[in-house]
Amino acid sequence: MGGSTVADALRCLIGSDADVVQARQMGRELASQLGFSPGDQTVIAAAISEIARNILMYAKRGEVQFTKISDGTRPGLIVVAEDRGPGISDVPRALQDGYSTSGGLGLGLPGARRLMDDFEVVSAVGEGTRVTMKKWKRVNG
Amino acid sequence: MEVPILKQGHYLIASIQSALSDADLSQLREKLIERVGKFRARGVIVDVTALDVMDSFAVRTLRDIAHMARLRGSETVIVGIQPEVAFAMVQLGLTLKGVATALDLEEGLEFLNQQGQGHGRLDRG
């Protein structure tokens, strides 16, 4: 098989703050199975916690999907957080440190972005938001 | 998941046993602040050794606990931040500025005892 291989996605519905804990624990477990270091497992769990909380805060419900991937030499994890909430009108601004419309610390999205290798936000006002983030296992760690 | 709060001398020790949801963390904050008054506690130790993740909400809540407890006359020290949790916090850009931290419970107690010698001298005669 060439290119990247994609296994079945796992999903976690988000509708309560217990689901946020569940989502980050699922992410940590998968990262552990893929051989990520304990440090990176925690980094992934923290990023999931931030984006899953955003679903809860802004959209009330949504889901987080996890997909194990490989680029042929190293494994990775894709996390997609999707909701049909109000959407983000100004994505670049939402990615700035300290910007928050919820009274939070404004570290959710920018913080999660710093934690992951790839980070993409697609959002349409009135339709919802999809955050896709990726982390590769480090070769020496 | 309720966090047990023990009273030891003049101190309250909240020992987190597992991953906590946002609601659990908020409840811990309310309970601790109420008990600082009820037990006239001079110090609060929050042991986060078992906490899986320290994200923005957890950090904000711990900061709030420390600041609210200080307003009620009690010093707070956070103990047991694990190396990988510290690593993720730094990458997230989260700090516990203005909040005392110590390696573990023992160091936390030591810190509070030293604090007490400073301003508690008068009432200890």
* CATH code, domain with A55: 3.30.565.10
Say what the ipTM of the complex is.
Answer: 0.87
Give A-chain residues touching B63 at CB under 8 angstroms: none
CA distance B111 to chain A (A): 28
Contact A42 B87 (CB under 8 A): yes
A95 in reach of chain B (CB within 8 A): no
Give yes or no for A105 touching B (CB within 8 A).
yes
Q: Please check whether residue B62 touches A, CB under 8 A.
A: no
Structural domain for A95, as ranges: 5-136
Residue B108: domain span? 5-120
A81 located within any domain = yes
Q: Is residue A70 part of a domain?
A: yes
Cβ neighbourhood burial of B87 (10 Å; 0-12, 13-18, 19+): middle
**Distance (Å, whole) CA B29 – CA B111:** 21
Q: Is the pLDDT of residue A13 over 90?
A: yes
The predicted pLDDT at position A2 comes to: 40
Please give the structure tokens belonging to residue B4: 């047990």
On whether any CB of chain A is under 8 Å from the CB of B48, the answer is: no
pLDDT band at A9 (very low <50, low <70, confident <90, very high): confident
| Within-domain flag for A141 | no
For A57-86, the pLDDT digits (tens) are 999 999 999 999 999 999 999 999 999 999
Instruction: Using CA coordinates, name the residue in chain A closest to B25.
Output: A17
Tokens of B32: 């601790």
Q: Return the pLDDT at B119.
A: 54
| Interface touch B93/A114, C-beta < 8 Å | yes
Q: pTM to 2 decimals?
A: 0.89
B58-112 per-position pLDDT tens digit: 999 999 999 999 999 999 999 999 999 999 999 888 899 999 999 999 999 999 9
Report yes or no on A35 lying in a domain.
yes
Domain count, chain B: 1
Burial of B66 (0-12, 13-18, 19+ CB in 10 A): buried
At B124 the pLDDT is: 39
User: DSSP per residue over B41-78, as a string?
Assistant: -SEEEEE-TT-S---HHHHHHHHHHHHHHHHTT-EEEE
Q: Based on the structure, what is the number of domains in chain A?
A: 1
Residue B125, domain member (yes or no) = no
What is the per-residue pLDDT for B91?
87
CATH value at residue B70: 3.30.750.24
User: Does residue B17 fall inside a structural domain?
Assistant: yes
**Distance, CA of B69 to CA of A118 (rounded, Å):** 40
* Chain A contact for B56 (CB, 8 A cutoff): yes
Where does the pLDDT of residue B117 fall: very low under 50, low under 70, confident under 90, or very high at 90 and above?
confident
